[in-house]
């Protein structure tokens, strides 16, 4: 069992636990709102705390390039800079760099790329990534990995996986702040042989937690679920398990049922900015911009206690979107985050009470046969 993570209850493979990092202990399973540029779009930190968030994710690549890790450090570190008093997890910056197709060169040492801001040449290595995350002052850092497209040939995915392992060792060696946790990442596409090797390799290193990368990046949902059914079991059982970049409430309960503990995704705030709101009942989401809500005096979700639902009507939020007032996307984003964090609370309670299977079945039934392109 990890010194930082403890499992308090189980229901099948689903786990109710707690993880201790620099800012204290947070409960799992949990969901991390994504604050790409040190800000969750349209949502201030007081609202984040109010809806139940305990961990915020920030983007190393963007903060490194602007305003710069050193400047943030001079201003007191990432917590003082953002005003967020909870835990902060940072990605490694690798995914953003690998997204710069045609603007990067990969070598054993790292990645040379051109900044999307001004075209300047930059170099990201495991050592640079960890140094930047330490300078920011985050609580949990991610090891630098290569995140290849899942449809690459087996041989290229194998080479990429071996590079990720070598970079993982270098990331660990680069950490000089013992108070900062660091998580390793598995890759391997949807190939069981490569995922198995990734789990064996990464588990051999003394990481504080283990993340599953390279899923929800374009592969069919069924393929992601199939990987989760065997791959989570391959990770160290006494450590926290993090599924990166996922997903819908259906995806979350599916992953929790396989032993995943922590999630992040831009979906609740991105959907909110376009007027798509998550609710209890059927269908599990709708677009508040639809004309049928123009005279609907009920809250977005009658069972929700967020500021959007306890103060405003569907008609008012609909009107805000129609006239282009920024408050509309803000309220929808706050509500969606509240929906996600409330779901995580219900998941934790159901695991403790032995009723997770019933919650799982109800959510799966509500999301069955939906056209998820509406959330894109």
The catalytic position among 91, 208, 251, 301 is 91
Concerning whether 264 is annotated as a catalytic residue, the answer is yes
> From CA 219, how far away is CA 235, in angstroms rounded?
22
The catalytic position among 139, 145, 264, 301 is 264
Concerning whether 208 is annotated as a catalytic residue, the answer is no
Q: Is 351 helix (H, G, I), strand (E, B) or coil?
A: helix
| DSSP sequence for 173-226 | HH---TTSEEEEEE--TT-HHHHHHHHHHHHTS--SEEEE-S-SSSS-HHHHHH
CA angle 55, 57, 60 (to 5 degrees): 145
Which residue in the block uniquely carries the two structure tokens 């798509």? 276
> From CA 38, how far away is CA 71, in angstroms rounded?
13
Which residue in the block uniquely carries the two structure tokens 């259906």? 250
> From CA 291, how far away is CA 297, in angstroms rounded?
13
Q: Return the bridge partners of 88, or none.
A: 56
**Residue 35 CB partners (closer than 8 Å, separation 6+):** 56, 57, 58, 59, 82, 84
> From CA 84, how far away is CA 40, in angstroms rounded?
11
Pairing mode, if any, of strands 30-32 and 87-90? Answer: unpaired
> From CA 276, how far away is CA 271, in angstroms rounded?
5
209: phi then psi, degrees, rounded to nearest 5: -170, 170
- Residues annotated catalytic, as ranges: 91, 264
């Amino acid at each position: 069992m990890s010194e930082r993570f403890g499992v308090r209850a189980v229901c099948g493979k689903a786990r109710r636990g707690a993880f201790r990092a620099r800012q204290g202990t947070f409960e799992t399973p949990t969901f991390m709102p994504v604050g790409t540029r040190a800000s969750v779009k349209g949502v201030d930190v007081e609202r984040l705390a109010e809806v139940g968030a305990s961990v915020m994710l920030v983007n190393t690549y963007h903060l490194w390039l602007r305003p710069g890790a050193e400047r943030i450090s001079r201003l007191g570190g990432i917590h003082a800079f953002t005003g967020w008093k909870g835990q902060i997890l940072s990605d490694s910056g690798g995914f953003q760099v690998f997204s710069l197709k045609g603007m990067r060169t990969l070598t054993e040492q790292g990645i040379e790329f051109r900044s999307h801001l001004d075209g300047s040449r930059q170099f990201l290595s495991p050592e640079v990534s960890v140094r930047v995350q330490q300078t920011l002052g985050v609580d949990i850092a991610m090891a630098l990995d290569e995140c290849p497209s899942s449809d690459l040939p087996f041989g290229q995915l194998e080479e990429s996986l071996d590079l990720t392992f070598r970079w993982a060792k270098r990331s660990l060696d680069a950490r000089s702040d013992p108070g900062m946790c660091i998580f390793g990442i598995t890759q391997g596409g949807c190939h069981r042989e490569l995922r198995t090797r990734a789990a064996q390799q990464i588990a051999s290193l003394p990481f504080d937690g283990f993340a599953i990368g390279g899923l929800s990046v374009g592969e069919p949902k069924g393929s992601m679920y199939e990987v989760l059914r065997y791959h989570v079991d391959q990770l160290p059982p006494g450590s926290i398990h993090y599924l990166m970049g996922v997903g819908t409430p259906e995806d979350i309960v599916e992953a929790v049922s396989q032993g995943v503990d922590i999630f992040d995704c831009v979906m609740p705030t991105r959907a909110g900015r376009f007027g798509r709101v998550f609710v209890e009942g059927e269908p599990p989401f709708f677009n508040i911009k639809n004309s049928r809500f123009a005279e609907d005096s009920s809250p977005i979700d009658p069972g929700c206690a967020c500021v959007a639902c306890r103060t405003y009507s569907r008609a008012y939020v609909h009107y805000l979107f129609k006239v282009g007032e920024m408050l509309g996307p803000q309220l929808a984003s706050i509500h969606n985050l509240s929906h996600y964090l409330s779901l995580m609370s219900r998941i934790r309670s159901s695991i403790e009470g032995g009723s997770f299977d019933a919650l799982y079945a109800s959510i799966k039934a509500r999301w069955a046969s939906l056209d998820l392109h509406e959330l894109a």
